[in-house]
Amino acid sequence: MAVSEHTADVSHAMITTPVATADWLVVSPIIITILGGVICLMMRKQTKIQPRIAIATLGLLMLSNFGLLARVMDKGVITMVMGQWLPPYGIAFTVDATGAMLALIASIVAFATALYGVGDSDAASRRYGFYPFLMLLMTGVSGTFLTGDIFNLYVWFEVLLISSFGLLILGSDKAQLDGAVKYGILNLIATTLFLIATGYLYGLVGTLNMADIPRSVAALPNHAPITTVAMLYLLAFAMKAAAFPVNFWLPASYHTPRIAVAGVFAGLLTKVGIYALMRTMVMLLPVHHALLAHVLAVVAVATMISGALGAMAQSDLRRALGYLVISSIGSMLAGIAVSTALSLTGTILYAIHSIIVMTGLYFVTGMAGRMSGTFALRELGGLYGKSPLLALAFIILAMSFSGLPPTSGFWAKVLLVDASLKSDWPWLAGSILVAGFLTTIALARIGLYAFWRGGPEGTPDGTAFAYAENADMTAPDVTAAYTGMWLALGLLVGLSLFIGLAPDGLVAIAKTGAAGLVDPSGYIGSVFGGTGGHP
């Protein structure tokens, strides 16, 4: 029997108006990075051309994200639904100020990493996929920041996780394999917990659209076990963000890959967890967040203090940085625990600052290690004499990380402390300050031993250690490699200083983002239209 003529009216099931051209910016980060990654993969053996493609692609990604942020600040939250299904049925990409800003900063850091990688990645690691994986990692990171569907968020988490596996084991030496086993297994368990929570949430509310979830949750009967879901999300994302009792994968793995990889991991991956925590705990489940606020606050304090103390106890520079990543996560968690518009502004600003500065610190460490041939604090020394510019970059980044003016870290900490005091969490504010003091000590010790003193342990005071002329520094093709590293480092240091000196624009964006998280009516309106859409 022939299929009967069927001209159903689809207007109540599908969006019939075409997407505005400028709104394609919402998905362009995904398209750009996948294309760039695929092209680099096809040119696997052209190790000289790969960096150029990657730098061009990630430069384009930066421009696209900049355009997206400008449009979000101009028009408010933007939504694009895949397949034009009427929400909540299709997978929606919904971009608010928080997502757009973090996507922009992430793309800047990825661009800096591609520049740094020109000198840091050798032909072998490029053949095994340094640049393709970097760009596919950015696909996952961008997708995470832009999607408006909780199951889709899980998929992007997995995209960035599998790319990070590839980056982590470039070179496959023993330490990398050892670190990758722990990183891989624990992160996979974390994303599986995320999936479990999402399954339960779907079973309770029957929707996965992040604009649809808040009101569906509000309509649930009182006895619905949604606190279980909130707790599972908290555990899953705390694991991803490396919060205190569930962070052992981070110090076990972050010092093993090449520095370019470690830098981009330290900058982006844990902050993705923080972002997801803000989305789920603050925007989707605010009532259950209130129940867990004290848990979050205690975890935050334990994370920031243990991280700072851990950093002081390390004799390897890269491992000390791993603990500093953990310490910075604690401060962001403090903002999420307080969960007012002001504290979330602080968390968003701190995330932006921390993405820039953590990556910068890894780059400084990488260059210091390259110049002196070691990362051991006992064997380092005299770097100030060797490269005053590197010492300057370190000092600026160290001040920024500790929260001293005139750098980006200062404003982020001011906002967090102010918000904690205003919401009657004095011990939380005090902990942020104590953790800041401890990280100052940890970083000052690194500065003292690696940069300031005359040479490695045993060099008499007042004398400068005569380094054997390092062949690395003078060989012509290697100085070219240093150019990319200096450019990358300069970009990040400059950005941190710029935010420190002129924070107004960024604070305004972070405020808009935080307000949208506390009161998601703009987010919901963007997905369902002014009427509220589907009942």
Partner 1 sequence: MEAGFAVLIGFIFAASIYLMLSRQLIRILLGISILGNAVNLLIFTAGRLEREVPPVIPDSSLVPVGATANPLPQALILTAIVISFSFFAFLLVLAFRTYQELGTDDANEMRVAEPKGEARPPMGY
By the criterion CB under 8 A, which residues form the site for partner 1?
4, 6, 8, 151, 155, 158, 161-162, 165, 169, 172, 174-182, 184-185, 188-189, 192, 195-196, 198-200, 202-203, 251-253, 255-256, 312-316, 376-378, 444-445, 448-449, 457
Q: Nearest distance from residue 448's CB to partner 1, in Å?
A: 7
Q: ∠ CA 512-405-303 to the nearest 5 degrees?
A: 70
Q: Nearest distance from residue 162's CB to partner 1, in Å?
A: 7
Q: Nearest distance from residue 319's CB to partner 1, in Å?
A: 8
Q: Which is nearer to partner 1, 54 or 190 (CB)?
A: 190
DSSP class of 209: B
Q: Which is nearer to partner 1, 191 or 420 (CB)?
A: 191
Contact criterion met (CB below 8 Å) for 484 and 383: no
Q: ∠ CA 433-434-436 to the nearest 5 degrees?
A: 65
Q: Which is nearer to partner 1, 182 or 534 (CB)?
A: 182
Q: Nearest distance from residue 225's CB to partner 1, in Å?
A: 12
Long-range contacts of 453-462 (CB under 8 A, 24+ apart): 453/381, 453/382, 454/381, 454/382, 454/385, 455/381, 455/382, 456/378, 456/379, 456/380, 456/381, 456/382, 457/378, 457/379, 457/381, 459/381, 459/382
Q: Which is nearer to partner 1, 51 or 143 (CB)?
A: 143
Contact criterion met (CB below 8 Å) for 436 and 402: yes
CB atoms within 10 A of CB 75: 12
The two tokens of residue 485 are: 């590293």
CA 151 to chain centre: 20
Q: Nearest distance from residue 487's CB to partner 1, in Å?
A: 31
Three-state DSSP at 78 gives strand
Q: Which is nearer to partner 1, 249 or 350 (CB)?
A: 249
Q: Which is nearer to partner 1, 70 or 312 (CB)?
A: 312
Q: Which is nearer to partner 1, 159 or 264 (CB)?
A: 159
Q: Which is nearer to partner 1, 204 or 293 (CB)?
A: 204
Q: Which helix (H) or strand (E) holds 92?
A: strand 92-95
Q: Nearest distance from residue 332's CB to partner 1, in Å?
A: 25
Rounded-to-integer distance, Cα 201 and Cα 6, Å? 37
CA 73 to chain centre: 21
Q: Nearest distance from residue 441's CB to partner 1, in Å?
A: 8
The two tokens of residue 111 are: 């661009």
Rounded-to-integer distance, Cα 134 and Cα 268, Å? 12
Q: Nearest distance from residue 386's CB to partner 1, in Å?
A: 19
